[in-house]
Amino acid sequence: MTEPQPLSEHSADVIVVGAGPAGSTTAYYLAKAGLDVLLLEKTAFPREKVCGDGLTPRATKQLVSMGIDISEEAGWLRNKGLRIIGGGVRLQLDWPDLASYPDYGLVRKRDDFDEQLARQAQKAGARLYERCNVGAPIIDDRTGRITGVHAKLGDADSKDKREVTFHAPLVVAADGNSTRLSLAMGLHRREDRPMGVAVRTYFESPRHDDDYLESWLELWDRRGPQDRLLPGYGWIFGMGDGTSNVGLGILNSSKAFRELDWREVLKAWCASMPEDWGYTPENMTTPIRGAALPMAFNRQPHYTKGLLLVGDAGGLVNPFNGEGIAYAMESGQLAADVIVQAHARATDAQRELALLRYPKVLKETYGGYYTLGRAFVKLIGNPKVMKIATERGLTHPVLMKFTLKMLANLTDPTGGDAMDRIINGLSKVAPKA
């Protein structure tokens, strides 16, 4: 492969705004195909992001495709599956044995994880600018298309920031849930799509080397005279470095979504756990931090006037389980493939025709599954439904194996078992909105 030749220092074939998993994956595949790519990141690596740090086999597959060294020697902790706790039941489920995905997941802290992807994009030929704060888009007055971005280079608290403009015929918004770039282009969040909130912290703990991801379907506050069931679901992921990532998620379908302080809810849940696990204030290694989880295509269209949305910017988080990294990386690869094909077209009209395929590809890939997820979110927003599902469902291992495949979106598209065929069939017939 020949090295892409820069059009100029501040011009490129494509600008990617944001070097999280979505942006770095997009930039990697674009550069690998020979396009000149600018990857603009507002902070400097390493940098922290709020996340559970647990990766399913879906995300693991993406890392393998990008050539990332995921060996234990390189600092990755493997997990065998998911342990589900609720309704007085503790059920341990291995990841399914599939042709399409590996049978293990991974754990890695986001500050280190994101940098690995960004450096891999650099190795492929992408030009990375760190400490590059992107502001307003540059709009062609005649066509209304985005043709670049205004940005400031330098530390956030520095007085000697340098103003620059970057130019490209295509821009990819990979700037997360807030996605100022999308808003500036008139793309606002859909209120009819679910939104989640996640809060998490780290504790020094003897459970740090657990080889299963752990999901709690019931969160209990046992501090008062009477036990109180808290809304949401919790997780405990061993990091393999002496610490556990402990957090919780809540959906806006719950009545408690806007009523409670979620940091206090997390503290109450941790206080209910066995003391020898170490989830106590004195063992906490970082402050409790929170982040939004934009789900089920909550910002559309995913392509308009030279701008493509990937990852959280396009609301790609799975509504079934709150997973975002796998879909961020997958959407980045899909976007890059469409851009590469468009780049090879001879006329503006042909390029536009190719680019308009991107939203269609996303809907073909995830639309039906996300529609099912939206229905699921509405159901579990009712505490009574959640209680019945927890108490009765967890006692049926075969049903829970099906549920794991459904929630984690882990099926073989062809030649799978009966469970795969049911899930794939449901996704196929559901509306792709």
Per-residue pLDDT of 263-285, as tens digits, reads 888 998 898 899 999 999 999 99
Cβ–Cβ < 8 Å for 235, 247: yes
Cβ–Cβ < 8 Å for 368, 63: no
DSSP character for 382? S
Beta bridge mates, 165: 150
φ, ψ (nearest 5 deg) of residue 194: -70, 150
pLDDT at 272: 87
- Average pLDDT on 205-232 reads 81
Q: Give the whole-number percent of the chain exceeding pLDDT 70.
A: 94
- Of 406, 402, 405, 422, the residue nearest 370 (C-alpha): 406
pLDDT at 148: 96
pLDDT at 149: 96
How many Å apart are CA 355 and CA 353, to the nearest integer?
6
Would you call 249 helix, strand, or coil by DSSP?
strand
pLDDT at 3 over 60: no
Helix H segments across 258-396? 262-271, 325-343, 348-355, 357-362, 368-380, 383-393
How big is the CA angle at 28 (ends 25 and 31), to the nearest 5 degrees? Answer: 150
pLDDT at 278: 94
Amino acid at 54: G
Mean pLDDT of the chain: 90
pLDDT at 231: 64
pLDDT at 2: 45
Q: CA torsion sign, 240 to 248 to 54 to 213?
A: positive
pLDDT at 228: 67
φ, ψ (nearest 5 deg) of residue 230: -95, 150
Would you call 41 helix, strand, or coil by DSSP?
coil
Task: Check residues 8 and 153 and name the one with the higher pLDDT.
Answer: 153
DSSP character for 417? -
**pLDDT per residue as tens digits for the range 368-415:** 999 999 988 887 766 677 667 777 766 787 888 888 899 899 999 987
- Average pLDDT on 58-67 reads 97
Cβ–Cβ < 8 Å for 50, 357: no
DSSP character for 189? B
pLDDT at 262: 86
Cβ–Cβ < 8 Å for 400, 84: yes
Cβ–Cβ < 8 Å for 52, 198: yes
pLDDT at 236: 95
Query: Which residues, 6 or more positions from 344, have their beta carbon under 8 angstroms from its beta carbon?
Result: none
How many Å apart are CA 38 and CA 15, to the nearest integer?
5
**pLDDT per residue as tens digits for the range 154-211:** 876 667 788 999 999 999 999 999 899 999 999 999 988 988 889 999 999 999 999 9
pLDDT at 357: 97
pLDDT at 60: 97
Amino acid at 339: I
Helix (H) or strand (E) holding 116: helix 110-124
pLDDT at 264: 87
Rank 46-50, 306-310, 377-381 by mean pLDDT and report only the highest: 306-310
Paired tokens of 249: 């998620």
How many Å apart are CA 120 and CA 123, to the nearest integer?
5
Amino acid at 230: L
Residue 404 half-sphere exposure, CB side, CA atoms within 13 Å?
24
Q: Which of 201-215, 332-346, 410-424 has the lowest mean pLDDT?
A: 410-424
Task: Check residues 253 and 285 and name the one with the higher pLDDT.
Answer: 285
pTM attached to this predicted model: 0.93
Paired tokens of 64: 């393998």
pLDDT at 222 over 80: no
Cβ–Cβ < 8 Å for 172, 126: no
pLDDT at 250: 85
**pLDDT per residue as tens digits for the range 228-249:** 676 678 999 999 999 999 999 8
pLDDT band at 1 (very low <50, low <70, confident <90, very high): very low
Task: Check residues 48 and 126 and name the one with the higher pLDDT.
Answer: 126
Residue 264 CB coordination number (10 Å): 13
How many Å apart are CA 191 and CA 298, to the nearest integer?
8
pLDDT at 49: 85
Task: Check residues 241 and 416 and name the one with the higher pLDDT.
Answer: 241
pLDDT at 151 over 70: yes
CA distances from 83 to 94, 236, 386 (A): 8, 10, 18
pLDDT at 154: 87
Would you call 199 helix, strand, or coil by DSSP?
strand
Cβ–Cβ < 8 Å for 152, 161: yes
DSSP character for 319? T
Paired tokens of 109: 């802290």
pLDDT at 18 over 90: yes
Helices (H) and strands (E) in the chain, counts: 12, 21
- Average pLDDT on 111-133 reads 95
